[in-house]
Structure 1
Amino acid sequence: MTNCLIPMSRLPDVSLSNNGSNKVTENSDSIGKFGEMTIEMLPRDLSFTIFVPSQTAFERDLRLRINESLTGEKVNDTYAILTRVLSFTVVPWKILSESVSDTKEMVCDSLSGLKLHVSKDADKMLVVNGVRSTRVNLRKGEMVIHVMDGVIMEAEFEQSVRSDDGDED
């Protein structure tokens, strides 16, 4: 396991409020509401790296929809899912894209103990357990945030999400 503590002198800061000037735009590399909710579960004053799924990834891979998931009976289920995703995607130290070798994979443990295999692709974007990043090195307090084009999760959780969905693609 590699433990990387890197100074964060010039990282862009991402605002998670609705009127922040650095808010990620609403498209395929957007943090979105579910990403914001996930990030807000972490204390801002501790060093973490989070490989947060984009809004598109939450919708596509977990079939979470804002208008359905945040009202009525689904609220508790949504928070349970976000908590599990958080445990798979957070590392308790800072990992900047520059700290990942262009040629060597970094292996580290998430909060849940899931092994994360972090590398770079030909375009120098991070790839974690086969999921490619769309944005890297965003900052919120002491956190480093990488927006991912998929959801990093263990196989058992993925199977349970797929089996709960009656209309698989």
Structure 2
Amino acid sequence: MIRYLEDEKRLPDVSFSNGSRTSINFKKISKLTENSYSLGKFGEMMIEMLPHDLSFTIFVPSETAFERDLRLRVNDSLAGEKANDTYAILTRVLSFTVVPWKILSESVSYTDELTCDSLSGLKLHVSKDADKMLVVNRLRSTAVNLRKREMVIHVMDGVLMEAEFE
């Protein structure tokens, strides 16, 4: 089950790929409820691939994005011989979408863009739009600050990937 964040949190200093460091100063993060948010089968599979006891931020594609951009459909892509190919695709997409520390929407200002590297080394440019949603490499989020164990999850309306993978 995914929960919204609870209580007031403070993250450690964060280093970015350009060598700069920033200390993230949080105001109170709104209290989270036990309401769940469905990430869909493929989103849940991606999250289960990560260690449960480490902090990550993951920019998970929405269910619509999995079907539209990757042509993955639960009933078809997990059946028979296609299951191994689907698992390989999800593993590769995971490497483009995971950052090895927590990035909350509150830590991103409206005026500055954060630049960080995903696990695969893909440069991620994170900003915030007027609706308080995150925009990563020109893909807008549909949900932000979801939690599962130590992970922060942002659901994206697209798939973050390198050009060669497309």
Pairwise CA distance, 1:12? 3.9
Deviations 1:42-97 (A, max 9, x none): 11210000000011110010000001111100000000000011000000000000
Out of 88, 93, 104, the position equivalent to 1:85 is 93
Out of 31, 42, 51, the position equivalent to 1:43 is 51
Q: Distance in 1 between matches of 2:23 and 2:54?
A: 12
Where does structure 1 lack aligned partners over 5 or more consecutive residues? Answer: 14-20, 25-29, 159-169
Where does structure 2 lack aligned partners over 5 or more consecutive residues? Answer: 1-15
Q: Distance in 1 between matches of 2:21 and 2:60?
A: 19
- Alignment partner of 1:150 is 2:158: yes
Q: Distance in 1 between matches of 2:161 and 2:142?
A: 18
- Alignment partner of 1:121 is 2:129: yes
Structure with the largest fraction of helix: 1
> What TM-score, normalized by structure 1, do the two folds share?
0.80
Q: Which amino acid aligns with 1:62?
A: L
Q: Distance in 2 between matches of 1:139 and 1:47?
A: 11
Q: Distance in 2 between matches of 1:96 and 1:9?
A: 9
Pairwise CA distance, 1:10? 5.8
Q: Which amino acid aligns with 1:114?
A: L
Map residues 11-160 of structure 1 onto 2, 5 A cutoff: 12=32, 22-24=35-37, 30-158=38-166
Residues 1:150 and 1:75: Cα distance change in structure 2 (over 3 Å): same
**Identity level (%):** 78
> What TM-score, normalized by structure 2, do the two folds share?
0.81
RMSD of Structure 2 on Structure 1 (CA): 2.1
Paired residues in the alignment total 146
Structure with the largest fraction of strand: 2
